[in-house]
Amino acid sequence: MLNKERLGRVNRNLDQIGLRQMIITDPMAIFYLTGKKLYSGERFLGFLVGEDTEPVLFVNALMRFEEDLGVKVVYYMDSDPLTPILKKYVRPEEKLGVDKNMASHFLLDMIDDGVAAGYANGSLAVDRTRAVKDETEKEKMRRASRVNDLAMAQFKDLIHDGVTETEVASHMLDIYKSLGATGYSFSPIVAFGVNAADPHHMPDNTVVKEGDIVLFDVGCKVEDYCSDMTRTFFYKKEPDEKARRVYELVRKANDEAERQLRPGMKLKDIDGIARGIITEGGYGPDFTHRLGHFIGLETHEFGDVSQANENPAEVGNIFSIEPGIYNKQDAGVRIEDLVIVTEDGCEVLNTYPKDIQVIGL
C-alpha cells in the first residue's frame, strides 16, 4: 500500500532540489514507497512522483498484480514503445527528475522524444528520505539486530579444532533462519588469524588454531530490514600484549563514537572521534576505511560516516559504527554495532558483549 507519509517527504525533498516531478526506477525505492516488490529485470519499471503530480506506477504487463496499492498503475506490453506512454503523464514543460539507477537507454529515448523540458538526477530526494527512518522501520531494524545478537552467540560456538572458515560459514544461514530471519543481508565474513587483518576477507579453507583471532562480520534480514555486526574473539588463548592493545583501542574507538554521538554533529566528526583514538594509539594508517555506512532495506544505503561527509547526523539515521585496525603483525580487529540517532545521542541496536572473550575453552 502506498505510504503517503514517505511519499510526502520524497515530494518535499524533490521540491527542495528544484524538481516537481520525478520517475523513480530503483525497485527497492519503489518497494519502500508502495510496499510492493516488483522485479523488472531489463524491462522498464517506473514510479512517477512529485508535488502536484498524481503518482503513477508503470509496470510491464508480465508483472500484473491484483492488489490495490492506492496508486494508479499503468501496464504496458513488451511491444509498446515506452515514451508515448510516459508522455501521457509527465508534464512536458517541466524538468523531470530521473533515478540515478535508471538504465541510460530509457533516458536517451526520453530525451530524443522530448518527454520533459529537461532532466536531472533526482535520487537525492529519495535517498534523503530513506536516510531518516520512521518508527516502523526502526522497530524492524531493532528486531533484525536482536536476531543478529542471538546468532552471534551461536556462531562463536561453531569454532572448534580442525574447523575451516568455510565450514563455519556454511551453518550460519540455518542458524539465522531458526531465529526468524529470512536470509543474509550480505555474505558473511569469517576470518581466522591473520585473515582478520583483511577487512573484506571471504571465508576460505583456513583452519583455526589455538591463539587465533576469530572475526565475524555478519548480518541477516528480518522483515526486509538488514542487520550488520562485527565481533572479534580469541581462540583458546588470551591475546598477547600487542593484540590486547589493538583490541582495546578499537573497543575504545567504538565506545567513544557511540557515547559522544549527538544529532547535528557532522558525520565526519563522528568518524574523527574513532579515528583520533586509533591514530593516537599509533595505528592510524591501519584503519583503512570509513567509520560507518547507512543501512536499512539495504546493507549499504546512501550516506556514510566518513572523513569527507560534511552533513550532520539527523534523528532517525541508522548507521554502523565499525572502527578497525588491520595490522598483519600485531592483530586484525573490528568491532561494529548499528545505532539509531536519537534526540539526545544514539540507541545502540546491538547488545552482544564487546569485552575481550576467549572462546573454545
* Footprint on this chain of Mn ion (rule: CB under 5 A): 228, 320
Nearer to Mn ion, 58 or 326 (CB): 326
Q: State in angstroms the smallest separation of the CB of 240 from Mn ion.
A: 27
Which amino acid does the sequence have at 293? H
Minimum gap (Å) between residue 186 Cβ and Mn ion: 8
SS3 49: strand
Q: Cβ of residue 293: shortest distance to Mn ion, in angstroms? A: 6
Q: Which three cell numbers stand for residue 361?
A: 575453552
Of 7 and 131, which has the nearer Cβ to Mn ion? 131
Burial degree of 84 (CB within 10 A; 0-12, 13-18, 19+): exposed
Closest CB to Mn ion among residues 239, 323: 323
Q: Output 228 or 286, the one with its CB closest to Mn ion.
A: 228
Q: What are φ and ψ of residue 333, in 5° steps?
A: -140, 135
Nearer to Mn ion, 98 or 321 (CB): 321
Number of C-beta neighbours around residue 255 at 10 A: 19
Distance from C-alpha of 310 to C-alpha of 315, rounded to nearest angstrom = 16
Q: Can you tell me the distance from the alpha carbon of 149 to that of 167, in angstroms, rounded to the nearest whole number?
A: 21
Find the shortest distance in angstroms from Cβ 306 to Mn ion. 13
Closer Cβ to Mn ion, 9 or 268, answer by number:
268
* Minimum CB distance to Mn ion smaller for 164 or for 306: 306
Closer of 234 and 294 to Mn ion (Cβ): 294
Q: Smallest distance from the beta carbon of 178 to Mn ion, in angstroms?
A: 23
CB of 279 to Mn ion, least distance (A): 21
Rank residues 99 and 336 by Cβ distance to Mn ion and give the closer one. Answer: 336
Residue 219 C-beta: closest distance to Mn ion, Å: 7
Please give the Cα distance from 121 to 100 (Å, whole number).
6
Mutual angle of helices 27-34 and 4-16, in 10-degree steps: 130
Burial 88-127 (b: 16+ CB within 10 A, else e): ebbbeebbbbbbeebeeebbeebeeeebbeebeebbbbbb
- Smallest gap from residue 35 Cβ to Mn ion (A): 26
Please tell me the distance from the alpha carbon of residue 6 to that of residue 20, in angstroms, as a whole number.
16
Task: Find the shortest distance in angstroms from Cβ 287 to Mn ion.
Answer: 14
Q: Which residues pair with 192 in a beta bridge?
A: 214
Distance CA 41, CA 293 (A): 27
**Neighbour-count burial of 248, counting CB atoms closer than 10 A to its CB (0-12 exposed, 13-18 middle, 19+ buried):** middle
Closest CA to 309 of 322, 293, 285: 293
At residue 272, the 3 state secondary structure works out as helix
Assign 3-state DSSP to the chain and report helix, strand, coil percentages, each to 5: 35, 25, 40
Q: Is 79 exposed, middle or buried (0-12, 13-18, 19+ CB in 10 A)?
A: exposed
Minimum CB–partner distance for residue 230 and Mn ion (Å): 7
Closer CB to Mn ion, 129 or 320, in the complex: 320
